[in-house]
């Protein structure tokens, strides 16, 4: 009896490890920098001369580093606004596509495309063309006699423009939502329709609960990715985090500190602080999940 | 899950310390791997610039390699901003290039940490006697020499004459104009064009611009002994100046200029014909004139009549790594780049006017019109008594970001110019001290 259960389980385990293999492979190259950065976080390291032990000095400096606080603010605002927005858009589009649109594969690819392009220089050019002071948006506003601001060059609006760019790249959560929606048995909806439940009621009582594990997965993934935003900010602002410090993402500031300002010890400490923050958010996420994620098995 | 995803990022950032160096050869022109078995000594030379400069540089190196068959020069280049980051990474990885282009504002970051060769100790292999004292001073730190100017330049004001002619505005005399003249002239262009073209723009956060302004007020922005010499009053006056220009519509309104716009001549607002004049480094005249339709007039910086602010500077220094495995060959190459007439002729004016004055005079007649104009502009300045430029102190490379952040707050009216001056001095002192 016991062997009958454990054999397929062992086979499953083996398959699991097989799938994990690439990760273990990559880990070999990560483990050294990972621990090296932990050490460097407690040193004064300018890249050019050997690191010297500094104890907690780097972490103490963080307390009154106004730029660090600004970069945290930018990153948190960006995450808190853009993650829910992009997940909502992704779910909405996935539900429309799930209705059985003809040429689903084509639509799916088209909507997925921005996710691949968002960090590219071509998008930056396009973004300027649309949101620049003399861009398409302001040309449109000019018809109504309004002179719009520089949506990308004005520190009051630059971050919002980047959030829009993030929301536009809803492709990857959308693909996952789409797969999740396909898993919900059609009979639930048929039964609900029979009982006269409205579309909204069906969404609230069937789609949302049954999709909640997928939403949770997407939420955790997006949150982690959003805190680590680097490429979009880097290409849009040429690595400066400008205008002013309005798009200075945490990782952008970390990069500036480490590579442009010869302060790799501080940059390493920043990396570990970010790890703590992300870990904290993820733990809260998992704890909260108990109250709203519903597993149908 | 978080640790996994995160450590990938960590690895990216940290392994970058060593790993970025590995990506360097992919971007430049490589000539096979290290330690090729043909018995040649290979030296590695890195610099920043574009494809045009790469062509000139390669031709010069071909000359050197023909004359020195035992040496192979493996050269790599990229844009200035990634170059800066990757250079530090190469030192961190223990694999510094033998010969490298060094930013003027970063020289002491490297020199003070002992990573560069003191060229003063190798005077018998590197002849710097052809350079004027101000040119030599660009790479001097006390009695030591850590860099040699790859060329000489200065900042200049270029005006698009096609636009001023179109709107019937007279360009002021560039040798005698004041900042007020600039305001009157530029506001007139804006008015005459009906707001289609703004008269002028320049970046308030470019330290090189502010440096000239500070000297005109009798202050060394950086002192000879590497301290901050500028006062809060000067910074405030600088922002009063730029905001005054904006208020008079001589400058475009806040937000018109995207400070994240690329830095190349083709991407400039001057080439887009949305502004009629701006400040450029004099060695970039050729590139800008090509991008702007060939009608640029080159003027001095305003306000040079009472006290001089302009100085002879360099777009980049050449430095040698302290632990270069082939210092003699590297010095030979550097000496060739600085003092050889044919080398200078081949390189043209891509890095500015040759630092060796005799060489510069010999190649001047063969230059094309724009480069000749830029050279004459600089030579005229060289004949005058100008304040010297000193290498920026350690930490000075942070000042651009500080100035940019404060400048943006001022531009959008969220910070008064008086407070901006105080704030800059406080932050700049901290950056230079720590």
Given this model, what pLDDT does residue A8 score? 72
Q: Are B237 and B281 members of one domain?
A: yes
From chain A, the residues in CB contact with B401 under 8 A are 240, 256
> Taking the CA atoms of chain A, what radius of gyration do you get in angstroms?
23
Task: Please determine, for residue B151, whether its predicted confidence score (pLDDT) is greater than 60.
Answer: yes
Given this model, what pLDDT does residue A297 score? 60
Task: Please determine, for residue A132, whether its predicted confidence score (pLDDT) is greater than 70.
Answer: yes
Distance CA A107, CA A199 (A): 23
Given this model, what pLDDT does residue B32 score? 38
Q: Is the peptide bond before A243 cis (omega within 30 degrees of 0)?
A: yes
Q: Are B123 and B47 members of one domain?
A: yes
The token pair at B183 is 């305001």
Task: Please determine, for residue A296, whether its predicted confidence score (pLDDT) is greater than 80.
Answer: no
Neighbours of B335 (CB within 10 A): 17
Per the DSSP assignment, residues forming a β-bridge with B73 are B43
Q: Is the residue at A58 inside a domain?
A: no
Q: Are B301 and B207 members of one domain?
A: yes
Which of helix, strand or coil describes residue B318?
strand
Percent above pLDDT 90 for chain A: 56
Q: Is the residue at B378 inside a domain?
A: no
Task: Please determine, for residue A142, whether its predicted confidence score (pLDDT) is greater than 70.
Answer: yes
From chain B, the residues in CB contact with A242 under 8 A are 259-260, 404, 408
Given this model, what pLDDT does residue B23 score? 35
CA distance B403 to chain A (A): 9
Q: Is the residue at A26 inside a domain?
A: no
Contact between B316 and B104 under an 8 Å Cβ cutoff? The reply is yes
Q: Is the residue at A8 inside a domain?
A: no
Task: Please determine, for residue B78, whether its predicted confidence score (pLDDT) is greater than 70.
Answer: yes
Task: Please determine, for residue B2, whether its predicted confidence score (pLDDT) is greater than 50.
Answer: no
Task: Please determine, for residue A112, whether its predicted confidence score (pLDDT) is greater than 90.
Answer: no
Helix (H) or strand (E) holding A190: helix A186-194
Question: What value does the mean pLDDT of chain A take?
Answer: 89
**pLDDT tens sequence across A214-253:** 999 999 999 999 999 888 888 878 788 888 899 999 999 9
Q: Is the residue at B352 inside a domain?
A: yes
Residue A197 at interface with chain B, using a CB cutoff of 8 Å? no
Of B371, B400, B419, the residue that ends a domain is B371
Task: Please determine, for residue B12, whether its predicted confidence score (pLDDT) is greater than 60.
Answer: no
Given this model, what pLDDT does residue A6 score? 65
Contacts of B298 (CB under 8 A, 6+ apart): B156, B157, B158, B174, B282, B285, B373, B374, B377
Domain that holds residue B137: 2-151+315-371
Given this model, what pLDDT does residue B39 score? 84
Q: Is the residue at B384 inside a domain?
A: no
CA distance A259 to chain B (A): 5
Task: Please determine, for residue B268, whether its predicted confidence score (pLDDT) is greater than 60.
Answer: yes
Given this model, what pLDDT does residue A5 score? 54
Task: Report the CATH number at residue B160.
Answer: 3.40.190.10
Lowest mean pLDDT among A110-114, A119-123, B209-213: A119-123
Q: Is the residue at B397 inside a domain?
A: yes
Q: Is the residue at A22 inside a domain?
A: no
Phi/psi at A15 (5° precision): -60, -40
> How does residue A114 score in pLDDT terms, banded at 50, 70 and 90?
confident
From chain A, the residues in CB contact with B81 under 8 A are 238-239
Lowest mean pLDDT among A171-175, A229-233, B225-229: A229-233
User: What is the longest distance spanned by two Cα atoms in chain B?
Assistant: 68
Of residues A126 and B355, more confidently modeled: B355
Given this model, what pLDDT does residue A239 score? 80
**Alpha carbon B143 to chain centroid, angstroms:** 24
**pLDDT tens sequence across A186-196:** 899 999 999 98
Contact between B338 and B355 under an 8 Å Cβ cutoff? The reply is yes
Lowest mean pLDDT among A166-170, B27-31, B292-296: B27-31
> How does residue A254 score in pLDDT terms, banded at 50, 70 and 90?
very high
> How does residue B16 score in pLDDT terms, banded at 50, 70 and 90?
very low
Q: Are B336 and B396 members of one domain?
A: no
Task: Please determine, for residue B427, whether its predicted confidence score (pLDDT) is greater than 60.
Answer: yes
- In B184-325, which ranges are E strands? 277-281, 296-299, 317-320
Structural domains counted in chain A: 1
Neighbours of A18 (CB within 10 A): 9
Contacts of B331 (CB under 8 A, 6+ apart): B119, B122, B125, B126, B320
Neighbours of B64 (CB within 10 A): 18
Q: Are B107 and B197 members of one domain?
A: no
Residue A48 at interface with chain B, using a CB cutoff of 8 Å? yes
Dihedral, CA of residue B53, residue B58, residue B64 and residue B68, to nearest 10: 150
From chain A, the residues in CB contact with B11 under 8 A are 29-30, 33-34
Q: Are B119 and B166 members of one domain?
A: no
Beta-carbon contacts below 8 Å between A and B: 145
Distance CA A106, CA A116 (A): 15
Report, in this order, helix, strand and coil percent for chain B, each rounded to 5: 50, 15, 40
Structural domains counted in chain B: 2
Task: Report the CATH number at residue A77.
Answer: 1.10.3720.10
Q: Are B306 and B327 members of one domain?
A: no
Q: Are B358 and B300 members of one domain?
A: no
Q: Is the residue at A267 inside a domain?
A: yes
Strands B155-160 vs B140-141: parallel, antiparallel or unpaired = unpaired
Task: Please determine, for residue A123, whether its predicted confidence score (pLDDT) is greater than 80.
Answer: no
Residues A177-203 as b or e (16 or more Cβ within 10 Å = b): bbebbeebeeeebeebeeeebeeeebe
Given this model, what pLDDT does residue A109 score? 86
Task: Please determine, for residue B374, whether its predicted confidence score (pLDDT) is greater than 60.
Answer: yes
CA distance A188 to chain B (A): 33
How buried is residue B77: exposed, middle or buried, by Cβ count under 10 Å (0-12/13-18/19+)? buried
Q: Mean pLDDT, to the nearest integer, of A290-297?
A: 82
The token pair at B146 is 């850590």
**pLDDT tens sequence across B34-65:** 445 678 899 999 999 888 889 999 999 999 99
Q: Are B182 and B302 members of one domain?
A: yes
Q: Enumerate residues 261 to 280 of chain B having a beta carbon within 8 A of any beta carbon in chain A.
A: 261-262, 274
Separation in Å, CA B125 to CA A162, B71, B245, B336 = 54, 16, 51, 10
The token pair at A84 is 């829910």
DSSP B395: T
Q: Is the residue at A153 inside a domain?
A: yes
Given this model, what pLDDT does residue A60 score? 96
Residue B225 at interface with chain A, using a CB cutoff of 8 Å? no
Domain that holds residue A197: 65-292
Task: Please determine, for residue A9, whether its predicted confidence score (pLDDT) is greater than 90.
Answer: no
Task: Please determine, for residue B113, whether its predicted confidence score (pLDDT) is greater than 90.
Answer: yes
From chain B, the residues in CB contact with A251 under 8 A are 9, 13
Of residues B341 and B226, more confidently modeled: B341
Phi/psi at B162 (5° precision): -60, -40
Q: Are B6 and A48 in contact (CB < 8 Å)?
A: no
Q: Are B195 and B332 members of one domain?
A: no
Helix B327-339 vs helix B51-67: crossing angle, to nearest 10: 110
Contact between A52 and A266 under an 8 Å Cβ cutoff? The reply is no
Q: Are B114 and B226 members of one domain?
A: no
Given this model, what pLDDT does residue A105 score? 83
Task: Please determine, for residue B30, whether its predicted confidence score (pLDDT) is greater than 50.
Answer: no
Neighbours of A207 (CB within 10 A): 19
Task: Please determine, for residue B25, whether its predicted confidence score (pLDDT) is greater than 50.
Answer: no
Expressed in angstroms, the distance from the first to the final Cα of chain A is 24
Q: Mean pLDDT, to the nearest integer, of B137-154?
A: 95
> Any idea which residue has 């454990």 for tokens?
A6
Mutation target among B6, B204, B264 for the A interface, most CBs of A within 10 A: B6
Percent above pLDDT 90 for chain B: 77
Phi/psi at B158 (5° precision): -110, 140
Q: Mean pLDDT, to the nearest integer, of B311-336?
A: 96
Q: Are B341 and B427 members of one domain?
A: no
Q: Mean pLDDT, to the nearest integer, of B149-175?
A: 96
Residue B306 at interface with chain A, using a CB cutoff of 8 Å? no
**pLDDT tens sequence across A33-79:** 889 999 999 999 999 999 999 999 999 999 999 999 999 999 999 99
Of A46, A236, A258, the CB nearest to B13: A258
Q: Mean pLDDT, to the nearest integer, of B14-32?
A: 37
């Amino acid at each position: 009896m016991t062997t009958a259960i454990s054999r397929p389980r062992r086979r499953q385990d083996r398959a699991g490890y097989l799938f994990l293999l690439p990760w273990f492979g990559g880990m070999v190259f990560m483990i050294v920098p990972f621990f090296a950065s932990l050490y460097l976080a407690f040193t004064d390291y300018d890249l050019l001369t050997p690191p010297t032990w500094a104890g907690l000095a780097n972490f103490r400096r963080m307390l009154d580093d106004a730029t660090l606080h600004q970069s945290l603010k930018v990153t948190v605002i960006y995450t808190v606004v853009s993650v829910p927005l992009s997940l909502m858009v992704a779910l909405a589009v996935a539900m429309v596509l799930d209705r059985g649109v003809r040429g689903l594969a084509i639509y799916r690819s088209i909507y997925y495309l921005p996710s691949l392009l968002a960090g590219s220089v071509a998008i930056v050019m396009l973004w300027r063309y649309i949101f620049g002071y003399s861009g398409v948006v302001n040309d449109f506003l000019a018809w109504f006699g309004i002179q719009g601001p520089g949506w990308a060059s004005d520190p009051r609006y630059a971050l919002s423009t980047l959030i829009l760019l993030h929301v536009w790249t809803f492709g990857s959560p959308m693909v996952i939502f789409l797969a999740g929606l396909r898993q919900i048995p059609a009979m639930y909806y048929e039964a609900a329709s029979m009982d006269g439940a409205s579309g909204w009621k069906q969404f609230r009582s069937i789609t949302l609960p049954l999709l909640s594990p997928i939403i949770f997965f997407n939420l955790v993934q997006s949150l982690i990715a959003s805190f680590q935003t680097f490429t979009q900010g880097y290409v849009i602002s040429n690595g400066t985090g400008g205008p002013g410090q309005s798009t200075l993402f945490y990782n952008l500031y970390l990069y500036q500190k480490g590579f442009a300002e010869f302060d790799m010890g501080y940059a390493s400490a920043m990396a570990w602080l970010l790890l703590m923050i992300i870990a904290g958010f993820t733990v809260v996420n998992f704890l909260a999940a108990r109250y709203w994620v519903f597993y149908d098995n | 899950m978080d640790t996994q995803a995160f450590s990938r990022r960590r690895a990216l950032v940290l392994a970058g310390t060593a790993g970025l160096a590995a990506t360097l050869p992919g971007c430049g022109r490589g000539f096979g791997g290290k330690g090729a078995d043909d018995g040649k000594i290979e030296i590695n030379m890195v610099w920043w610039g574009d494809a045009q400069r790469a062509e000139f540089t390669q031709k010069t190196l071909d000359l050197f390699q023909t004359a020195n068959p035992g040496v192979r020069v493996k050269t790599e280049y990229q844009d200035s901003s990634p170059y800066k980051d990757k250079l530090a990474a190469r030192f961190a990885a223990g694999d510094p290039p033998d010969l490298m282009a060094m930013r003027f504002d970063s020289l002491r970051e490297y020199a003070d940490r002992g990573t560069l060769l003191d060229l003063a100790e190798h005077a018998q292999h590197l002849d710097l006697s052809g350079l004027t004292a101000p040119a030599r001073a660009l790479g001097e730190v006390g009695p030591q020499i850590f860099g040699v100017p790859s060329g000489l330049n200065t900042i200049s004001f270029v005006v698009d004459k096609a636009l001023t002619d179109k709107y019937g505005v007279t360009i002021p005399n560039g040798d005698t104009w004041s900042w007020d003249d600039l305001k009157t002239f530029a506001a007139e262009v804006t008015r005459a064009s009906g707001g289609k073209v703004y008269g002028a723009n320049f970046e308030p956060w470019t330290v090189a611009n502010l440096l000239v302004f500070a000297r005109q007020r009798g202050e060394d922005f950086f002192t000879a002994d590497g301290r901050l010499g500028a006062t809060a009053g000067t910074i405030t006056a600088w922002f009063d100046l730029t905001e005054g220009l904006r208020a008079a519509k001589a400058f475009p309104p806040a937000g018109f200029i995207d400070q994240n716009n690329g830095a190349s001549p083709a991407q400039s607002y001057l080439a887009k014909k949305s502004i009629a004049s701006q400040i450029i480094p004099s060695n970039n005249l050729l590139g800008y004139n090509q991008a702007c339709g060939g009608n640029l007039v080159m003027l001095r910086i305003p306000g040079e009549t009472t006290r001089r602010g302009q100085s002879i500077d360099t777009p980049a220094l050449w430095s040698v790594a302290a632990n270069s495995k082939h210092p003699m060959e590297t010095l030979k190459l550097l000496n060739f780049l600085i003092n050889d007439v044919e080398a200078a002729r081949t390189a043209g004016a891509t890095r500015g006017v040759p630092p060796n004055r005799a060489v510069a005079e010999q190649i001047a007649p063969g230059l094309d019109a724009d480069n000749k104009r830029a050279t004459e502009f600089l030579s005229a300045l060289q004949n005058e008594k100008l304040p010297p430029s000193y290498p920026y102190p350690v930490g000075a490379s942070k000042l651009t970001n500080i100035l940019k952040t404060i400048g943006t707050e001022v531009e959008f009216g969220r910070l008064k110019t008086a407070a901006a001056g105080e704030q800059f001095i406080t932050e700049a002192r901290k950056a230079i001290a720590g």
